Amino acid sequence: MSKPPVSCQPQASPSCEVIALTREPLSAESAIELAAAFKALSDPVRLRLLSLVASHSGGEACVCDLSAGFDLSQPTISHHLKVLREAGLLSSERRGSWVYYRIESQALAPLSRLLDIPAIQAGAR
C-alpha cells in the first residue's frame, strides 16, 4: 500500500502552515506530515540519493547514474528511491528501459521553512 505524498502546502491548507520551529509550535497535522518526509530522509542512503538527484545536471538523474556510487544491489537502490517517491520528495518517469528521478521542490519547501532558524538563535544557548 502506497503512502500519500507530503501534502503540507500552506497555500492549500491553512491548518498545515509550516513556519520556523523557533517562531511557534507546529500543529498536530503539520507534525504528522513533516515527520513522514523526515523519516524518509533519516536513512543515509536515501539522503545521499536525494542529494545525488538534486545535484545532478538538469535536476534529474537516471537510476543507472544513481547506482554507481553505492555498494548496494539494484533492488535495494530501487527500494530506497521508492521510499523517497512515496514520501513525495522525488518523482519518476520511465523513458524506455530506464527510470529518471527528479526532486519535488514543493515537497522540500516546507522542510526548509521548518528548519529556517537564524544562526544567531542557534548559537545563543
What whole-number distance in Å separates Cα of residue 8 and Cα of residue 43? 21
pTM for this one? 0.74
**pLDDT tens profile 98-115:** 999 999 988 888 888 777
User: What one-character-per-residue DSSP string does 44-72 give?
Assistant: HHHHHHHHHHHHSGGGEEEHHHHGGG-SS
Identify the CATH number of the domain defined by range 44-117: 1.10.10.10
Provide the 8-state DSSP code for 16: G
Task: Give 77's pLDDT tier (boundaries 50, 70, 90).
Answer: very high
- Number of residues written out for the chain: 125
In this structure, how many other beta carbons lie within 10 angstroms of the beta carbon of residue 111? Answer: 17
At 125, is the pLDDT very low, low, confident or very high (cuts 50, 70, 90)? low
Collect all residues with Cβ–Cβ distance below 8 Å to 100 and sequence separation of at least 6. 60, 61, 62, 63, 92, 93, 94
The C-alpha cell at 5 is: 505524498
